Amino acid sequence: MSVGSVVVGLSIESPSTKAAYDYGEEVDLEGLVANLSWSDGTSALVVFIDFGDNISTDPHQGHTLTHDNEAVTVTHTDSGESDTFTISVNVIMTSVSVGAQPQLEYTKGNELDLSDIVMTLGWSDGMSTDVTLAQFEDNGLVAAPAHGRGLTVVDYHGTAVTVTYDGDMSTDTETLTWPSSCLMTTLKRMMTTSAWASWRWRP
């Protein structure tokens, strides 16, 4: 580069090392190298760490990515010369909710019936997917307690079924209930058993 020469071109010598991201990740421009062409016919390679105020990027280092980000533009500030390289932003799941409740009302001796449950998965691109019980495993969903679990009034009345995605994101159904007659019968049985045990073991 001779005195008085100016930048007449910019090209991407090497894009950043990382090119594929998940939605919401921050862009990482490590490994990016620009090639500047000068009016005297010379050229020079500039690594990202040396860009300083002379070379800008859009999006900038650390920018939180959305699905609108499909490329990074590198621009020489004074000349306006620029070049781009592509990046990809993967769709991720952002929410899980109950789209349709399972059977919630039971009587004694029932097993948990999740046949009617539908979970709605929300995605970062604004789309959603409805998932039935048969599709739980393929979509990384786990219900606790599980479908077919034996239920008792004492252990499960007033509790909910928790559905978890990938061991991380979870939500609850509405609570399981038993009719008042079952609750009273169970309470009487517990009181009778408790009284009998107290009498039997009285010193």
Give the architecture (CATH level 2) of 7-90. Sandwich (2.60)
The neighbouring-strand residues paired with 122 are 95, 128
pTM of the model: 0.75
* pLDDT tens digits, 146-189: 999 999 888 899 999 999 999 889 999 999 998 876 655 555 55
Beta strands in the chain, from DSSP E residues, in sequence order: 7-14, 20-22, 33-38, 43-47, 55-58, 71-76, 82-86, 88-90, 93-100, 118-123, 128-132, 141-144, 160-165, 169-175
Domain boundaries, the chain: 7-90, 93-179
Nearest Cα residue to 169 out of 93, 64, 98, 89:
93
d(CA 62, CA 53): 16
* pLDDT tens digits, 46-88: 999 999 999 999 999 999 999 999 999 999 999 999 999 999 9
The answer to whether residue 196 scores a pLDDT higher than 50 is no
pLDDT of residue 199: 41
**What's the topology of domain 93-179?**
Immunoglobulin-like (2.60.40)
β-pair type (20-22, 88-90): parallel
Q: Is the dihedral of CA 64, 27, 48, 40 positive or negative?
A: negative
CB atoms under 10 Å from CB of 162, counted, come to 13
d(CA 10, CA 30): 18
d(CA 196, CA 86): 76
Work out the pLDDT band at 202, boundaries 50, 70, 90: very low
Whether cis (ω within 30° of 0) applies to the bond prior to 145 is yes
The answer to whether residue 193 scores a pLDDT higher than 60 is no
d(CA 94, CA 119): 13
Query: Does 7-90 match 93-179 in CATH topology?
Result: yes
User: 120 or 203, which is more confident?
Assistant: 120
